[in-house]
Amino acid sequence: MERLGVTAASRRPKEITTPVCSVAGLFNVILKMFLLTASHLETKHVKADHRVEVLLGATTILPCEIIGTSDRLSQITWQRTTKQKDGHFLTIRPNNEVKYSNEEDLRFEFIGNFDEKNGTLKFSNVTLKDEGSYTCIFSLLPSGKQSRTSQRVVLVPPNTNLMSYTPIEGNEEVPLATCTAAASKPKAEVKWIKGSLEGKVREELNETQHANGTTTTRSTLIGKPEREMNGQSVKCVVSSETIKEEILETNIQVHYSPGKVNIIEKSKVSYECETEANPIATFTWKR
């Protein structure tokens, strides 16, 4: 029995042990190669811009193009999310067929090419209601849908105006001139160049927010009207993201009564009467 035990033990096959670290390393190498190959074959890129600013009433491009895929394209869909509209509004099908989901909006023009997987749109006469996000969706077989979203921010240049008043000389503070930058988006900045009136007048700023997202900015020069102010030049400087710096200029007008009256003898038969007043004084002679 002891011999049998020895014989049985001697007939057992030797166990082969493979280092665990080498198997794990080989697995990681294979996995990385697989992922790299899959990534190279399946990655699809949709070209699209992100945030674009466009002036009110102008034209903008909504670019969207897919590259790096051989998948079959069945259709391109555009959808938008704005304050007034939400959902699909346009579909592009083979042979560059364009179909609107609801009402036809001819402001959108398809300028891409379906066969080239290019769904670019030209969008004209943009309004404040059109501000929002626009998404292009490519329906691909067999991979599915690919989409990208871009934002359209509508900018509105201000309507500018400079108005001067004609106060009467006095000791009470009154408005002398008002500069207005109306209905702009974003809001405009209004500053004054006061010239010789620096330190004699102050600025009063007022802003009004409108429901459509625009802002009206008014800045008024306030001071005590003095006759020395009459005819002095002031400048209003309006600046915003939508326009270059605009300068408006006016002369301060102050009404005051005639001051000292001088009679000058020009000759034995000629006399001249002079005084300062605004408006021009009326002269009456008596003898």
- How many angstroms separate the Cα of 103 from the Cα of each of 89, 100, 236? 8, 7, 46
Number of H helices, E strands in the chain: 2, 20
| Rounded Cα–Cα distance for residues 123 and 107 (Å) | 6
Longest dimension (CA), the chain: 169
Rounded CA-CA distance 247/101 in Å is 47
- Mean pLDDT of the region 274-278: 84
CB atoms within 10 A of CB 165: 15
Which residues of the chain are in CATH 2.60.40.10 domains?
46-155, 159-251
Q: The tokens of 167 are what? A: 């106060």
Tokens, residue 225 = 């009207």
Q: pTM of the full predicted structure?
A: 0.71
Fold of the CATH domain 159-251 = Immunoglobulin-like (2.60.40)
* pLDDT, mean of residues 194-211: 96
pLDDT digits (tens, 9 = 90+) for 86-125: 999 999 999 999 999 888 899 999 999 999 999 999 999 9
pLDDT over 60 (residue 226)? yes
Domain 46-155 superfamily per CATH = Immunoglobulins (2.60.40.10)
pLDDT digits 0-9 by tens, 15-47? 434 443 344 454 454 444 433 333 333 334 455
Nearest to 114 by CA among 88, 129, 94: 94
% of the chain surpassing 90 pLDDT: 64
